[in-house]
Amino acid sequence: MNLNGNFALVPWVADMEHGNNCYAEHEMDAREDNTKKDAQKFRDYAAECRRLAQRAADKDRKVLMEIAEAWDACAKDAERKEKSGSESE
């Protein structure tokens, strides 16, 4: 997905094209420090999507905003996992 050539393909978008999702790399690692880093990384990805969307064509803007929402959901999920992991200790 290069969004009609408007943007360079960034690594995390390339991962999404190959069927990877936000859990593939991170699901097995429940350590608290990594979970915090994951949540922040996902929020950073969402922010980058929103930044790109500001300059994108309407069709591409909609896709980028949907991707940003998905990254936000991943961040919330990582935070829930962190919270449930710290409560079980």
pLDDT tens-place string over residues 3-24: 555 555 455 554 554 455 555 4
The model's pTM is: 0.60
Q: Is the pLDDT of residue 67 over 90?
A: yes
Helix residue spans in 1-89 (DSSP H): 11-17, 32-55, 58-87
What is the total count of domains within the chain? 1
Domain that holds residue 51: 32-89
- 43 in a domain, yes or no? yes
Q: What is the Cα gyration radius of the chain?
A: 14
- 52 in a domain, yes or no? yes
- 21 in a domain, yes or no? no
For residue 71 the two structure tokens come to 């990254």
- 61 in a domain, yes or no? yes
- 89 in a domain, yes or no? yes
- 40 in a domain, yes or no? yes
